[in-house]
């Protein structure tokens, strides 16, 4: 039982709407074709999938933004899309969710899209439409100009959601971190790959165990002492102020300069962990935007993740679900 439950209830119930959070990163469109499979093709030894339903959802950094807006936050999104059919579907989704996507730039590559063909409850194939080249200098300059404008108007926290698709370049990451430091705004980064030097100076990094092991000189096990050691190493190597490690069935650990907090998982059932990292970083950034203490922000993020992993597929939590989860602790 958390000590200040009533304070967290009040924040979720009535103060989220005042928060403005910016998401920078690799936006994606997730498409699903649900089908019935009853025969094999006469053309080749492959199943014939008769499509009975289609679905489009927000993915990548756009799913982080979706988590924020469903909780009631004022949400801004920066990223890159292509001049193609999938861009139309993505922007329709963003508009319906009331996410401000005026920070999206149009690049030469395609809109990153993951198309999954489902046969019953089983995924048969995934088709990826993507180009992972980094942004051009002129495209980075467009984003810089947008960030300068938005920060001048006012923002409460910033998320960098890096999926290694090209948006989160060294220049973009460092410009965002510098602006956040200048305006005293917390910035939280979900890292990807092995080049973490581009995150130097960030307030929070939220890696999972697999991501940590990609940058550590030796294998780190999912144990408290090893996690703390790895976090301190990363903080020292890359000038990161705080590390919050998501640890699957062991919950999460928040390692700051003066304190280490291990928060056990609250999930009763785990069906699917896809999208859980997006939820963690979204709720963490939202709570920090609302001036919650880091420990309380981490607790709320862990609680939100416990709801998401009990759902099938990529899922974004809403305010009603988060309040219901709070009522049970």
Strand stretches in the chain, DSSP E? 20-25, 27-40, 47-60, 74-82, 100-107, 113-119, 122-129, 157-161, 187-190, 204-205, 242-246, 252-255, 260-263
Q: What are the beta bridge partners of residue 103?
A: 78
162 given a catalytic annotation: no
How far, in Å, CA of 74 to CA of 82, rounded? 25
CA distances to 64, 151, 237, 260 from 278, rounded to whole Å, are: 5, 23, 25, 22
Q: Which of 30, 100, 190, 278 is catalytic?
A: 278
> Terminal CA-to-CA distance of the chain, rounded, Å?
5
d(CA 23, CA 176): 11
Which residues, 6 or more positions from 123, have their beta carbon under 8 angstroms from its beta carbon?
116, 117
Of 281, 277, 249, nearest in space to 262 by CA = 249
Tell the residue number behind the tokens 């597929």, with chain if given.
313
Tokens standing for residue 130: 């993507």
Residues in the chain: 329
3-state SS, residue 128: strand
Q: At 54, is the secondary structure helix, strand, or coil? A: strand
Closest CA to 162 of 146, 148, 173, 151: 173
Put residue 201 in one of left, alpha, beta given phi > 0 → left and psi -120 to 50 → alpha.
Answer: left
CB atoms within 10 A of CB 44: 6
64: CB partners within 8 A, 6+ apart: 23, 25, 159, 161, 190, 278, 281, 282
Show which residues are catalytic: 278
């Amino acid at each position: 039982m958390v000590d200040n439950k009533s304070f967290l209830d009040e924040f979720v119930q009535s103060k989220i709407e005042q928060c403005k959070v910016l998401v920078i990163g690799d936006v994606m469109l997730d498409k699903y074709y649900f089908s019935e499979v009853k025969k094999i093709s006469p053309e080749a030894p492959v199943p014939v999938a008769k499509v009975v339903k289609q679905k489009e959802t927000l993915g990548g950094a756009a799913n982080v933004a979706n988590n924020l807006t469903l909780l009631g936050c004022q949400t801004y999104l920066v990223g890159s899309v292509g001049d193609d059919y999938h861009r139309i579907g993505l922007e329709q989704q963003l508009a319906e969710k009331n996410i401000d996507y005026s920070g999206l730039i149009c690049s030469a590559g395609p809109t990153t899209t993951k198309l999954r063909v489902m046969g019953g409850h089983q995924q048969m194939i995934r088709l990826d439409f993507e180009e992972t080249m980094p942004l051009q200098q002129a495209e980075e300059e467009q984003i810089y100009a947008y960030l300068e404008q938005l920060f001048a108007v006012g923002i409460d926290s910033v998320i960098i959601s890096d999926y290694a698709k090209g948006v989160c370049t060294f220049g973009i990451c460092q410009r965002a971190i510098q602006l956040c430091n200048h305006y005293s705004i917390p910035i939280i980064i979900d890292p990807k790959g092995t080049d973490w030097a581009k995150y130097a100076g960030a307030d929070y990094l939220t890696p999972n165990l697999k991501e940590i092991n990609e940058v550590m000189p030796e294998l780190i096990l999912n144990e408290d002492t090893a996690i703390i050691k790895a976090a301190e190493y990363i903080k020292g190597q890359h000038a990161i102020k705080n590390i919050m490690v998501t640890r699957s069935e062991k919950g999460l650990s928040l390692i700051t300069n003066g304190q280490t907090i291990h928060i056990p998982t609250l999930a009763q059932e785990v069906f699917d962990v896809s999208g859980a990292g997006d939820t963690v970083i979204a709720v963490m950034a939202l709570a920090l935007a609302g001036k919650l203490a880091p420990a309380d922000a981490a607790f709320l993020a862990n609680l939100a993740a416990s709801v998401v992993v009990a759902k099938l597929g990529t899922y974004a939590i809403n305010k009603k679900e988060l309040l219901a989860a709070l009522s049970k602790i």
